[in-house]
Structure 1
Amino acid sequence: MDATLHARLAPLGFATPPAQVHLNLSAPDLVAAALRRAEGVLTDTGALMCDTGQFTGRSPKDRFLVQDALTTDAVWWGDINIPFAPEKFDRLHQKMVAYLDDKEVYVREAYAGAHPASQLKLRVVNELAWHNLFCHHLFLRPEATADTTWTPDFSIICAPGFHADPATDGTRQANFAVINFSKKLILIGGTGYAGEMKKGIFGVLNFLLPHQRHTLPMHCSANVGPDGDTAIFFGLSGTGKTTLSADPNRGLIGDDEHGWLPNEEGIFNFEGGCYAKVIDLSAEKEPDIWQAIRTGAIVENTRFVPGTTTVDYANTSVTENTRTAYPLSFIANAVEPSVGSVLKNIFFLTADAFGVLPPISRLDKSHAMYHFLSGYTAKVAGTEMGITEPQTTFSACFGAVFLPLHPTRYAELLGQKLDEHPDTAVWLINTGWSGGSYGVGQRMKLSYTRAMITAALTGALNEVSFQPHPVFGVDMPTAVPGVPTHLLDPRHTWTDPEAYDRTAAELATKFVVNFQKYAAFANDEILAGAPKAELVQA
Structure 2
Amino acid sequence: MDTNHSMKLQLDGAVHRNLTAPRLVEKALERGEGILTSTGAFRAVTGKFTGRSPKDKYLIEEPNIRNQIDWGEINRPMDPGTFEHLFQQVKDYLREREVFIFDGYAGADSRYRLPIRVINEYAWHNLFARQLFVRPTKEELKEHQPRFTVISAPGVQANPKEDGTRSETFIAVSLEQRVILIGGTEYAGEMKKSVFSVMNYLLPEQNVLPMHCSANMDSHGNTALFFGLSGTGKTTLSADPERSLIGDDEHGWSDDGIFNIEGGCYAKCIGLSKEKEPQIWEAIRFGSVLENVVVDDDGHAHYDDSSLTENTRAAYPIEHIPSARIPGVGGHPDVIIFLTADAFGVLPPIAKLTPEQAMYHFLSGYTSKLAGTERGITQPEATFSTCFGAPFLPRPASVYAEMLGEKIDRHRVRVYLVNTGWSGGPYGEGERMKLAYTRSMVRSALDGSLEEATYTPDPVFGIHVPDRCPGVPSEVLLPRNTWADPKAYDIKARELARRFRENFERFPDVSDIIRQAGPTK
TM range (shorter): over 0.9
Instruction: Please name the residue that 2:126 is paired with.
Output: 132
Instruction: Please name the residue that 2:276 is paired with.
Output: 285
Distance (whole Å) between structure 2 residues aligned to residue 352 and residue 173 of structure 1: 32
Question: In the alignment, is the contact (CA less than 8 A) between 1:13 and 1:94 conserved in 2?
Answer: no
Equivalent position to 1:37, from 31, 56, 78: 31
Question: In the alignment, is the contact (CA less than 8 A) between 1:216 and 1:410 conserved in 2?
Answer: yes
Distance (whole Å) between structure 1 residues aligned to residue 194 and residue 469 of structure 2: 41
Instruction: Please name the residue that 2:441 is paired with.
Output: 452
CA separation of 1:355/1:191 partners in 2, compared to 1, >3 Å: closer, same or farther?
closer
Instruction: Please name the residue that 1:232 is paired with.
Output: 225
Distance (whole Å) between structure 1 residues aligned to residue 15 and residue 425 of structure 2: 60
Q: How does 1:408-487 map to 2 (within 5 A)?
A: 408-422=398-412, 424-438=413-427, 441=430, 443-487=432-476
Instruction: Please name the residue that 1:522 is paired with.
Output: 510
Equivalent position to 2:13, from 19, 33, 36: 19
Distance (whole Å) between structure 2 residues aligned to residue 56 and residue 385 of structure 1: 10
Q: Please state if 1:507 is matched with 2:502.
A: no
Q: Please state if 1:355 is matched with 2:350.
A: no
Q: Please state if 1:92 is matched with 2:86.
A: yes
Deviation at 1:121, TM superposition (A): 0.3
Give the 3-state SS of the residue equivalent to 2:140 in structure 1: coil
Letter in 1 for 2:393: L
CA separation of 1:472/1:170 partners in 2, compared to 1, >3 Å: closer, same or farther?
same
Instruction: Please name the residue that 2:235 is paired with.
Output: 242
Instruction: Please name the residue that 2:326 is paired with.
Output: 336
Instruction: Please name the residue that 2:262 is paired with.
Output: 271
Deviation at 1:503, TM superposition (A): 3.0
CA separation of 1:120/1:505 partners in 2, compared to 1, >3 Å: closer, same or farther?
same
CA separation of 1:153/1:95 partners in 2, compared to 1, >3 Å: closer, same or farther?
same
Deviation at 1:268, TM superposition (A): 0.8
Give the 3-state SS of the residue equivalent to 1:158 in structure 2: strand
Q: Which runs of 5+ in 2 are unaligned?
A: none
Distance (whole Å) between structure 1 residues aligned to residue 7 and residue 64 of structure 2: 20
Question: In the alignment, is the contact (CA less than 8 A) between 1:65 and 1:179 conserved in 2?
Answer: yes
Query: Higher mean Cα deviation, 113-122 or 284-293?
Result: 284-293
Instruction: Please name the residue that 1:488 is paired with.
Output: 477
Deviation at 1:507, TM superposition (A): 1.5
Q: How does 1:4-403 map to 2 (within 5 A)?
A: 6-7=1-2, 11-14=6-9, 16-212=10-206, 214-262=207-255, 265-305=256-296, 307-378=297-368, 391-403=381-393
CA separation of 1:238/1:42 partners in 2, compared to 1, >3 Å: closer, same or farther?
closer
Deviation at 1:289, TM superposition (A): 1.8
Question: In the alignment, is the contact (CA less than 8 A) between 2:2 and 2:8 conserved in 1?
Answer: no
Query: Higher mean Cα deviation, 109-118 or 490-499?
Result: 490-499
CA separation of 1:365/1:320 partners in 2, compared to 1, >3 Å: closer, same or farther?
same
> Could you say what the CA RMSD is over the residues aligned between the two structures, in angstroms?
2.4
Letter in 1 for 2:7: L
Question: In the alignment, is the contact (CA less than 8 A) between 2:56 and 2:165 conserved in 1?
Answer: yes
CA separation of 1:415/1:380 partners in 2, compared to 1, >3 Å: closer, same or farther?
closer
Distance (whole Å) between structure 1 residues aligned to residue 4 and residue 471 of structure 2: 59
Deviation at 1:199, TM superposition (A): 0.5
Distance (whole Å) between structure 2 residues aligned to residue 35 and residue 60 of structure 1: 30
CA separation of 1:354/1:149 partners in 2, compared to 1, >3 Å: closer, same or farther?
same
Q: Which runs of 5+ in 1 are unaligned?
A: 1-5
Deviation at 1:493, TM superposition (A): 4.6
Q: Deviations over 1:356-410 (max 9, x none)?
A: 222211111111111112111247999998989x852221112211111122322
Question: In the alignment, is the contact (CA less than 8 A) between 1:353 and 1:379 conserved in 2?
Answer: no
Deviation at 1:236, TM superposition (A): 2.8
Letter in 1 for 2:306: T
Distance (whole Å) between structure 1 residues aligned to residue 166 and residue 484 of structure 2: 51
Question: In the alignment, is the contact (CA less than 8 A) between 2:230 and 2:370 conserved in 1?
Answer: no
Letter in 1 for 2:264: G
Question: In the alignment, is the contact (CA less than 8 A) between 2:268 and 2:311 conserved in 1?
Answer: yes
Give the 3-state SS of the residue equivalent to 2:211 in structure 1: strand
Question: In the alignment, is the contact (CA less than 8 A) between 1:221 and 1:258 conserved in 2?
Answer: yes
Question: In the alignment, is the contact (CA less than 8 A) between 1:380 and 1:438 conserved in 2?
Answer: no
Deviation at 1:34, TM superposition (A): 1.0
Distance (whole Å) between structure 1 residues aligned to residue 90 and residue 427 of structure 2: 49
Letter in 1 for 2:419: N
CA separation of 1:106/1:139 partners in 2, compared to 1, >3 Å: closer, same or farther?
same
Letter in 2 for 1:324: A
Deviation at 1:165, TM superposition (A): 2.3
Deviation at 1:295, TM superposition (A): 1.3
Letter in 1 for 2:40: G
Distance (whole Å) between structure 1 residues aligned to residue 427 and residue 100 of structure 2: 49
Identity %: 53
Distance (whole Å) between structure 2 residues aligned to residue 528 and residue 37 of structure 1: 59
CA separation of 1:284/1:166 partners in 2, compared to 1, >3 Å: closer, same or farther?
same
Distance (whole Å) between structure 2 residues aligned to residue 313 and residue 229 of structure 1: 34
Distance (whole Å) between structure 1 residues aligned to residue 83 and residue 114 of structure 2: 22
